[in-house]
Structure 1
Amino acid sequence: MVVLASWVWALAACFSAAMAKISNNSTPYPPLWEDSPKQLSDYRMEGGKHIINPWVFTDRMGMYRILLNETSMYFARYGPENEQNLLWGLPLQFGWQYQTGRLADPSEMIGNGTEPEESLYVSVNSWWADVNYYLSVLPFLAAVDSGIMELSPNQITILPPPKDQMRFCYDVSGCQSAFPETMERWRDFFQYMQLPSSDFDGLLEKLWYAHALSLEYPINAFVDRYDLYSDQEANFEKNWPIAVYYLGAAHLPTTLNRAHSFQRGLPPQVLDDTSIAPFIPDFTPLQNKVLVTLNLLGDIDRLSGALSLTLWENLMSTKFARELFLQAFEMFLELSPKDLKSFVNCEQLPLATSN
């Protein structure tokens, strides 16, 4: 068990180092952030209701922008300019999906989505878009239900996709009925946020709990989408939630700059059948290493029957262990390119030998 624990910690360390890749994109904000609604009045009105179409990129991004604006006061004590708001990880991930072509219809994709920004269309055939729906619409509706936005749920209409409408929920009552625990956990996060006694660690714990629950339904409900992708992209999709669970167990802070940094080593385009890591020629060596690490993590998780994740969660159950992991994570971010390459190649694994 000690050996397995050390190996899992070392693997997470390798993954963390890989995520420290410096991006050519210097701005930490997601694409079209300023073009997305920043308040409900920016959406069109119909019958006295704000109409939100989550199948349009800027409409869905607008829900995130409104959440960031409405919760900024509660994170002001942790840092200026809302940078310490833990909700930043959600729009940044959604923006990465858009930039890399992962929100497009995979059955209509030309090449591997190198020019995704030509359309704001978010396809219901996209595995990424479907999973993200539960990390955008549900938190938004839970925030409304928590009272944090001082808005009645009856003032909002969420539009359905052109097909598979029964796989989604569209209002507070419908989402509460279909996903009671997930909605409760998001509501708990927003309600706790408003308490004078709330603290950063408590917010992190509640955020990741709600995040993990939000993945349970969509990653099982949309397995049919895998057939629309190459085997390499489908495998990446299967491994992605596993990686999220590991990072979530460590309560990784999803503040603006950190979240921006965490995702810089991710694949810059949709994988095709020739995208065999670590030999993808138009990926950086570090992006290749990220995919190799994710493949290993996914294989170990499945072969162990999720035992490795359970062990990792146990290791991360104390604040001391999480702080140790995060300190190591910050160290990786500050490594020189030469040292970083050594860590990415897993030539040095101090965390693995310390146990």
Structure 2
Amino acid sequence: MMFLLPSLLCALAGYVSAFLVETSTLTDLYPPLWKDCPSQFSDYKTEDGVYTIDPWLYPERMGMYKILITLTANYFERFGPNNEKNILWGLPLQHGWQFNTGRLTDPTNVTECGKENGDHMCISVNSWWACMNYYLCALPFLSAVEAGALGISSDQVTLLLPPKDQMYFCYDVTTCRSSFPDAMTKWNTFFQKAKDLSKTLDELLKDLWIAHEATIEVARNIFHNRLQYYSKPESDFEKSWATAVNYIAAVRFETSLIKTHEFQKALPPRLLNSGDQPPLIKDFTDSQNRVLFLLNLLYETDDNSDHKFLLLVETVMESKILRKIANSVMEQFIQNMI
């Protein structure tokens, strides 16, 4: 299985250099509607000093990320200018990709939530992607509040619950802390360490991915039933994507603005249909077909090995030297692929 490692990690991590970006400014890389989303707490509804956010509307959920990115900029400025090296960029960019590719819409088609001819800004609670992303938005955001990173106290913000399955969603610091103490603690640890200007980017990436993995693990167990709403190819992709996070974490993929943006070019540009068979999907690029195929292969390898392959990769990637070698191979792979 070890011979698969270079190709799999290259395709998954998408390690790229800044010179690969062909856009004129960093703002061209921002998620959809970024400039129109709330950028400060006062942009949300306020009553008795409490800010109320509706995370089931795309602009309001993306606004949470925007505030998070903006108010943590000083933690990452030593790594690069213009907040480009803020490793929290991976979260809003992933959410923007989900929005652009129709993955936040209602897969049951019972409602028009998220549909272009319906309520386009609506985020459906029936969407597997939307529910998984909720945890990767609410938990880091509220942990940042708890850690004192966003300039408000823990009792000053609350999130509106979805129209159904409300028992699965925490909505403020207190409920998230009581419901998901392990994940909240790991996010809090990340933000506390981010404040320490002596920490290296590699050290911060380690803690970021620890928190990310803990959040994904909780959410995937809760929302497994959402997979039934999708075609088999899309459901397979969802399962393989959740598994791939563990491998991406092992190499400590740098979730900065440029590198995440470049990586996402190789992700599926739309929901997968029942007839889609990677790597032979006609309206996908070669790199999109190749990455999708490798993601599915990785899932099968991980599952058939009873996760022993992941343990092997994690053990190998504990070495800083081997991570650097892996990243160099990834960079070459991306240059050849593009």
Instruction: Give the TM-score of the pair, scaled to structure 1.
Output: 0.88
Displacement, 1:175? 0.8
Q: Which runs of 5+ in 1 are unaligned?
A: 342-355
The corresponding residue for 2:267 is 266
Contact 2:75 2:197 in 1 (8 A): no
1:194-222 Cα distance to aligned partner (Å, 9 max, x none): 11322211111000000000101111111
Partners of 1:256 and 1:134 in 2: how far apart? 21
Q: Tell me how far apart the structure 1 counterparts of residues 77 and 155 of structure 2 sit (CA, whole Å).
A: 30
1:194 partner letter = K
Task: Specify the alignment match of 1:6 in structure 2.
Answer: 3
| Cα distance per residue 1:87-128 (max 9 Å; x no partner) | 000000000000000000001189xx9959961000000000
Q: C-alpha displacement at 1:25, in angstroms?
A: 8.7
Distance in 2, matches of 1:86 and 1:148, equals 15
- Give the match for residue 351 of structure 1: none
Q: Give yes or no for contact 1:101–1:270 (8 Å, CA) kept in 2.
A: yes
- State the Cα distance separating 1:5 from its structure 2 match: 2.6
**1:349 corresponding residue in structure 2:** none
Contact 2:16 2:259 in 1 (8 A): no
Q: Does 1:98 align with 2:99?
A: yes
Contact 1:99 1:117 in 2 (8 A): no
1:106–1:125 CA contact under 8 A, matched in 2: yes
Residue 165 (structure 1) shift: 0.2
Cα distance in 2 between the residues matched to 1:239 and 1:116: 30
Cα pair 1:8 1:308 within 8 Å, conserved: no
Cα offset for 1:284?
A: 1.6
SS at match of 2:34: coil
Conserved 8 A contact 2:104-2:123 = yes
Return the TM-score normalized by structure 2.
0.92
Contact 1:36–1:61, Cα closer than 8 Å, also in 2: yes
Distance 2:79 2:289 in 1: 35
Q: Deviation at 1:287?
A: 1.3
Q: Tell me the alpha carbon deviations over residues 220-246 of structure 1, each in whole angstroms, 9 at most, x when there is no partner.
A: 111111111111111110100111110
Q: What is the Cα deviation at residue 176 of structure 1?
A: 0.9
What's the counterpart of residue 293 of structure 1?
294
Structure 2: distance between partners of 1:98 and 1:116: 15
Name the counterpart of 1:344: none
Unaligned runs of 5+ in 2: none
Q: Assess if the C-alpha contact under 8 Å between 2:209 and 2:249 holds in 1.
A: yes
Matches within 5 A, 1:146-225: 146-225=147-226
Q: Show CA shifts across 1:282-333 (max 9, x none).
A: 1122211111111100100100001111100001001111111112222223
The answer to whether the 8 Å contact 1:35/1:58 transfers is yes
Q: 1: distance between equivalents of 2:218 and 2:298?
A: 21
Q: CA deviation at 1:46?
A: 2.5
Does the alignment pair 1:327 with 2:328?
yes
Give 1:150 shift. 2.3
Computed over aligned residues only, the root mean square deviation of the Cα atoms, in angstroms, reads 2.3
Aligned equivalent of 1:256: 257
- C-alpha distance in structure 2 between counterparts of 1:310 and 1:135, whole Å: 24
Q: Deviations over 1:37-56 (max 9, x none)?
A: 11101111123311101000
For 1:184 and 1:54, how far apart are their aligned partners in 2?
22
- Identical aligned pairs, as a percentage? 45
Match of 1:134?
A: 135
Contact 1:278–1:291 under 8 Å retained in 2: yes
- Aligned twin of 2:240: 239
Alpha-carbon distance between aligned partners in 2 of 1:114 and 1:197, rounded to the nearest angstrom: 46
- Residue 334 of structure 1 aligns to a residue whose secondary structure is helix
